[in-house]
Structure 1
């Protein structure tokens, strides 16, 4: 069946289109991830992006703190982590806006497992 182009985009329980809410999950790194994970009640798309944002950015933040103490090369490692964080931040916002459920290796699996754990408990 062909699309007429007049389809209404799916909404999240926040009232935003799912792709906008997904983008916003990454905009403020783990902070907006937490906000959207708590607020979202129905969209698994938004909840996944929120949890992936939390897991990714908290992990990178901790890793960045840790490598800062490595003698001689800590500053270089921290710079590489910062660059990687920036690139992932942009790519994930764009992909969420394009309605893609891009799942990062390891981080995406952890996010899905955590989502399941939260869904099982009221």
Structure 2
């Protein structure tokens, strides 16, 4: 398995729940470090963490329309990032991708 395949597999694992993102961080350690995988780990971790943080506040809205829109928005972001990993492209998540890259730059 070459480094591109290893990076792609790690990037895909990163999008499989928050636990997958943590597993991907360990898969992408120093000896197997891949820039492609690191990029997608930062994107996936940002999606999951912001979902949990913002979801806490959206839950107080007590509105099914706000909650539905919130879930739909994050599902679309997740699909966008996941498809980028599958297609071996480094596409930042719209609106927040640059922020995630800067915030988690040490991963």
Structure-2-length-normalised TM-score: 0.78
Match of 2:48 among 57, 60, 67: 57
* Count of aligned residue pairs for this structure pair: 104
- Say which one has the larger Rg: 1
Match of 2:19 among 2, 11, 31: 31
2:39 match: 48
Structure 1 segments of 4+ aligned residues over 3 angstroms from their partners:
none
Which consecutive residues of structure 2, in runs of 5 or more, have no partner in the other structure? none
Which consecutive residues of structure 1, in runs of 5 or more, have no partner in the other structure? 1-7
C-alpha RMSD of the superposition: 2.3
Q: How far apart, CA to CA, are the structure 2 residues paired with 1:40 and 1:22?
A: 9
Confirm whether residue 93 of structure 1 aligns to residue 82 of structure 2. Answer: yes
Distance 1:47 1:56, change over 3 A: same
Structure-1-length-normalised TM-score: 0.70
